[in-house]
Structure 1
Amino acid sequence: MPISFVRSLRNITTSKEVVRALGCRTFAAGAKAKKGSKGGAAADAPKASLLSKEVKSTTVFGANILKDGQDPKILPDSEYPDWLWHLLDKRPALSELRRKDVESLPYEDLKRFVKLDNRARIKENNSLKAKN
């Protein structure tokens, strides 16, 4: 059986026939280059921006979700709420919170500790109950 299969493969000349004979899928070919272009280096080069630097620094491009709307203007820092500036602050991990005295933690850290500890306990219980 395998020898007859190999002999039938020898008679196949095109790659489409090989794929059909072997029964496996292939990925689509990449995007074809335009006629007359040499290589992909010219297509990969970054394009110059059509927007002036002044417009770039005063407008948030891509934030408009409305069909007829405009992109919002960037406001001075005093116009934004205080909580916004603390969104990216590093918060302590569960292991760090466990090392500290729970009674001396600030309210926000205590709330975070309870949430993370419950999540860890649920994961541990789920892994113990999981079927192996």
Structure 2
Amino acid sequence: MTSFSFSPEMAMSCTRLMRSTIAVKETIGVVGRRTFSAKKKGGKGSAASDAPKASILSNEVKSTTVVCGNILKDGTDPKITADSDYPDWLWNLLDKKPALSELRRKDVKTLGFGELKRYVKLDNRARIKENNSIKSKK
């Protein structure tokens, strides 16, 4: 009886052959499948399928933690604390910023740094759009 040794090259070639065979079978399976739209049970206007699903979180957890706020693998969701614990700039993030037309009406010397920066950015953007439209008409 002869001994048979299995070399790493043979293992790799067998693995590649199996992967290609599986990929071909999956492709044939996807191509060969018929696709139809699924019908909802209960016919038209089924109220059961339109009803919102019940939340699995308790009201206490919803009001005291930031749900899905954890970014660490082994961490927990952060707790919500009092408003005074957060920085002041946080409460101004969602405020409406003035449009370019409003900024043009104001005196440039009275604008704050943030408003002046926004004015320059929006004014440059408007001039670039105007120049591009003039070039495209030629």
Q: TM-score interval w.r.t. the shorter chain?
A: 0.5 to 0.7
Structure 1 counterpart of 2:109, from 103, 120, 131: 103
Tell me the distance in 1 between the aligned counterparts of 2:53 and 2:38: 19
Tell me the distance in 1 between the aligned counterparts of 2:128 and 2:83: 41
Q: Give ranges in structure 1 of 5+ residues lacking alignment.
A: 1-27
Match for residue 122 of structure 1? 128
* Percentage of pairs with the same residue: 72
Q: What is the CA deviation profile of residues 6-42 of structure 1, one whole-angstrom value per residue up to 9, with x for unaligned ones?
A: xxxxxxxxxxxxxxxxxxxxxx643344xxx523421
How big is the shift at 1:114? Answer: 0.9
Tell me the distance in 1 between the aligned counterparts of 2:68 and 2:38: 27
How big is the shift at 1:116? Answer: 0.8
Tell me the distance in 1 between the aligned counterparts of 2:119 and 2:42: 59
Match for residue 51 of structure 2? 45
Match for residue 88 of structure 1? 94
TM-score between both structures, scaled by the size of structure 1:
0.65
How big is the shift at 1:131? Answer: 6.3
Q: Give ranges in structure 2 of 5+ residues lacking alignment.
A: 1-34
How big is the shift at 1:58? Answer: 0.6
Aligned residues: 102
SS in 1 for 2:64: coil
Tell me the distance in 2 between the aligned counterparts of 1:95 and 1:56: 42
Tell me the distance in 1 between the aligned counterparts of 2:86 and 2:120: 30
How big is the shift at 1:130? Answer: 2.6
Q: Does 1:65 align with 2:71?
A: yes
TM-score between both structures, scaled by the size of structure 2:
0.63
Structure 2 counterpart of 1:30, from 19, 37, 46: 37
How big is the shift at 1:74? Answer: 1.2
